[in-house]
C-alpha cells in the first residue's frame, strides 16, 4: 500500500511488523534516521525517566507550562485507548492526518538510512518531527524503558528528570536497584540540569551521578516538600525560598513528590522558561492524567490505576487505605507476563476480597491461566474468591453486575487493563 493512502490503523499495523523485536535497546539505528530526517530541536527539551511517576511529572509540567502561555509538546507512552494520546500539543491529541504525514516523513528517512526501527523508536522520531513542525516552545518527552539506550535519549535534554528507581524491566535493565538506576541516569548530561526525585539513591548510582558532571538537584538535599493540610502543601526550592501551593489535582500520596520534581525542573530552566506563580497554582489545580488512582463517578466506587510493578502496587495499596470501602473490594487484574506478577499481587492482597483475573491478548500479555497461577503464587488460596475470565471486559461486566453500592472495584495491572475498562465504560481519554 502506498504510504500516501495509508490510514493511521494501517500505519500502526505496519510499525508493529517493521522490526523483528518489540524492544531492541540501542541508539545507533534511531540516531541514523534522526540525522537523515534532520530532527534537531531548536527549543528546550525536558526528558523524564524513572520506574514510576514519569507520566505524572510530564502531565504537571505540561499543565503548568501551558498555563504560563507556552506552546508545549508532550510525548508519553504507552497509551490507554488511542495512539494519538501519546503525542499532544497544547494539551490536545495530535490529529490522524498530521500523525500519518509525520509517519510518512520518518519512513522516507528510514528507507534512506537503510535501517529498521521498532514501533516505539518510529513513534519517538515522529513526535519530535511534529513538535518541530508545530514550532513548540518546549518539548517534554517521557522515557519508554530505562534511559541510557532508550530512543528518547537520542535527543540531548536541557533538563533531565529521574522520578524513581525500583524493580521493573529486569530482563533489560538488571536485577538490582543499583543496576537499574545506572541505566536510568543515562539521560543526564554534562553541565546540564538533572533533577532526581528518588529519595533513596543506591550508593553506586550516586557515585556515578557525581562523575557524570550534571548540575544535580536532589530531593531532600536541594529541594523538598511537606504536606500542610487537606488542601495545601509547601515546596522548598533550591534557592531556599518556600511557597505554599494547592494540592495537585492528581490523587495519591506520591503526587507531592512528583509535583516537587516538576517544580525543581522549572527552577532549573527558569532563565529560558520563566513561569509566574499564578501559572504554577493553576497548572497544579487543572492537571489531569487518566488511569492514575482515577476514581470514576457513581456507585460502586471504581478506581483505575495502571500500577504494573511491585513499587506502584505498594503505592496503590497506600492510596486504597485512605479510601476505605464499607463493603467488599473487587480486584480486576491482568498483566504482561514479563512483569513481577506475584509480587505485584502480594502488595495488594490485604486490600482485595474478590479477584477477577483475565488474560491480555497483546504482545507479552499473560494468559488467564498464568494470571491464576500468579494468584496462587501470591498466596491467594481461597477458590471462592477467585474468578477467571477470558478478557478484561468480561471481568468488568461481572464486577458491575455483582458489586453493591457500598463495594468498590479496583482495576490495575497494566495500561492495557485500564484501557479496556475505559473503552468498555464508554470513556474518552481526550
What are the tens digits of pLDDT across the range 170-197?
A: 999 999 999 999 999 999 999 999 999 9
Q: Crossing angle, helix 177-184 and helix 203-212, to 10 degrees?
A: 20
The CATH 3.40.1190.10 domain(s) of the chain lie at 3-286
Name the pairing type of β-strands 242-246 and 329-333.
unpaired
For residue 2, what pLDDT is reported?
63
Instruction: Catalogue the E-assigned strands of 26-145.
Output: 45-49, 72-75, 87-89, 92-93, 138-142
**212: which 3 cell numbers?**
557524570
State residue 302 phi and psi, 5-degree precision. -120, 125
The helix (H) or strand (E) run that includes residue 199 is: none
For residue 428, what pLDDT is reported?
56
Indicate whether 95 pLDDT > 60: yes
Tell me the pLDDT tens digit for each residue of 296-352.
999 999 999 999 999 999 999 999 999 888 999 999 999 999 999 999 999 999 999
Would you say 137 and 70 are in contact if contact means Cβ atoms under 8 Å apart? yes
For residue 137, what pLDDT is reported?
98
For residue 4, what pLDDT is reported?
72
For residue 318, what pLDDT is reported?
96
**Mean of pLDDT values over 116-127:** 98
CATH class of 294-424: alpha beta
For residue 382, what pLDDT is reported?
81
DSSP annotation of 351 reads: G
DSSP helix, strand, coil percent of the chain (3-state; round to 5): 45, 15, 40
Coil, strand or helix: which one is 64?
helix
CB atoms within 10 A of CB 411: 31
Distance (Å, whole) CA 337 – CA 69: 43
pLDDT category, 238, cuts 50, 70, 90? confident
| pLDDT mean across residues, the chain | 95
For residue 101, what pLDDT is reported?
97
Rounded alpha-carbon distances, angstroms, from residue 121 to 102, 144, 338: 13, 9, 20
For residue 1, what pLDDT is reported?
60
Distance (Å, whole) CA 254 – CA 316: 10
CATH superfamily to which 3-286 belongs: Mur-like, catalytic domain (3.40.1190.10)
**Is the backbone of residue 275 left (phi > 0), alpha (psi -120 to 50) or beta?**
beta
Distance (Å, whole) CA 368 – CA 413: 13
pLDDT above 90: percentage of residues in the chain = 92
**Mean of pLDDT values over 148-155:** 98
Name the residue among 302, 273, 374 with its Cα closest to residue 69: 273
pLDDT above 70: percentage of residues in the chain = 98
Indicate whether 430 pLDDT > 60: no
For residue 5, what pLDDT is reported?
79
Would you say 214 and 194 are in contact if contact means Cβ atoms under 8 Å apart? yes
For residue 207, what pLDDT is reported?
97
Would you say 259 and 232 are in contact if contact means Cβ atoms under 8 Å apart? no
The CATH 3.90.190.20 domain(s) of the chain lie at 294-424
pTM of the model: 0.95
pLDDT category, 224, cuts 50, 70, 90? very high
For residue 429, what pLDDT is reported?
55
**Mean of pLDDT values over 71-91:** 97
Distance (Å, whole) CA 177 – CA 206: 12
**Mean of pLDDT values over 386-397:** 96
CB atoms within 10 A of CB 103: 23
For residue 427, what pLDDT is reported?
60
Name the residue among 202, 205, 204 with its Cα closest to residue 147: 205
Amino acid at each position: 500500500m502506498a504510504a500516501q493512502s495509508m490510514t493511521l490503523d494501517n500505519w500502526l499495523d505496519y510499525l508493529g511488523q517493521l522490526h523483528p523485536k518489540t524492544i531492541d535497546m540501542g541508539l545507533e539505528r534511531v540516531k541514523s534516521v534522526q540525522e537523515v530526517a534532520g530532527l534537531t530541536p531548536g527549543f528546550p527539551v525536558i526528558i523524564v525517566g524513572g520506574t514510576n511517576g514519569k507520566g505524572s511529572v510530564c502531565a504537571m509540567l505540561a499543565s503548568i507550562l501551558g498555563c504560563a502561555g507556552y506552546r508545549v509538546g508532550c510525548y508519553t507512552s504507552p497509551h490507554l485507548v488511542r495512539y494519538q494520546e501519546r503525542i499532544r500539543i497544547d494539551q490536545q491529541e495530535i490529529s490522524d492526518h498530521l500523525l500519518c504525514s509525520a509517519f510518512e516523513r520518518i519512513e522516507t528517512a528510514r528507507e534512506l538510512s537503510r535501517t529498521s526501527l521498532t514501533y516505539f523508536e518510529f513513534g519517538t522520531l515522529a513526535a519530535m518531527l511534529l513538535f518541530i513542525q508545530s514550532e513548540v516552545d518546549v518539548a517534554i518527552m517521557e522515557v519508554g524503558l530505562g534511559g541510557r539506550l532508550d530512543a528518547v535519549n537520542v535527543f540531548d535534554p536541557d533538563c533531565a528528570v529521574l522520578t524513581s528507581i525500583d524493580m521493573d524491566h529486569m530482563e533489560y535493565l538488571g536485577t538490582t536497584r543499583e543496576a537499574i538506576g545506572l541505566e536510568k541516569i543515562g539521560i543526564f548530561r554534562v553541565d546540564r540540569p538533572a533533577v532526581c526525585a528518588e529519595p533513596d539513591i543506591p550508593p553506586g548510582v550516586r557515585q556515578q551521578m557525581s562523575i557524570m558532571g550534571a548540575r544535580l538537584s536532589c530531593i531532600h538535599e536541594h529541594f523538598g516538600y511537606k504536606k500542610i493540610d487537606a488542601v495545601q502543601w509547601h515546596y522548598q526550592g533550591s534557592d531556599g525560598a518556600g511557597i505554599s501551593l494547592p494540592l495537585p489535582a492528581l490523587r495519591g500520596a506520591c503526587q507531592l513528590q512528583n509535583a516537587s520534581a516538576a517544580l525543581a525542573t522549572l527552577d532549573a530552566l527558569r532563565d529560558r522558561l520563566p513561569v509566574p506563580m499564578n501559572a504554577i497554582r493553576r497548572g497544579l489545580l487543572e492537571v489531569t492524567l487518566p488511569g492514575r488512582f482515577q476514581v470514576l463517578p457513581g456507585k460502586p466506587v471504581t478506581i483505575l490505576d495502571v500500577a504494573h510493578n511491585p513499587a506502584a502496587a505498594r503505592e496503590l495499596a497506600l492510596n486504597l487505605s485512605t479510601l476505605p470501602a464499607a463493603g467488599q473490594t473487587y480486584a480486576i487484574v491482568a498483566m504482561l507476563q514479563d512483569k513481577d506478577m506475584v509480587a505485584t499481587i502480594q502488595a495488594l492482597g490485604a486490600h482485595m476480597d474478590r479477584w477477577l483475573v483475565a488474560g491480555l491478548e497483546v504482545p507479552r500479555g499473560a494468559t488467564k491461566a498464568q494470571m491464576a497461577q500468579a494468584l496462587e503464587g501470591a498466596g491467594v488460596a481461597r477458590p471462592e474468591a477467585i474468578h477467571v475470565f477470558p478478557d478484561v471486559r468480561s471481568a468488568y461486566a461481572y464486577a458491575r453486575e455483582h458489586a453493591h453500592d457500598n463495594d468498590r472495584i479496583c482495576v490495575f495491572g497494566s495500561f492495557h487493563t485500564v484501557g479496556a475498562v475505559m473503552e468498555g465504560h464508554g470513556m474518552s481519554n481526550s
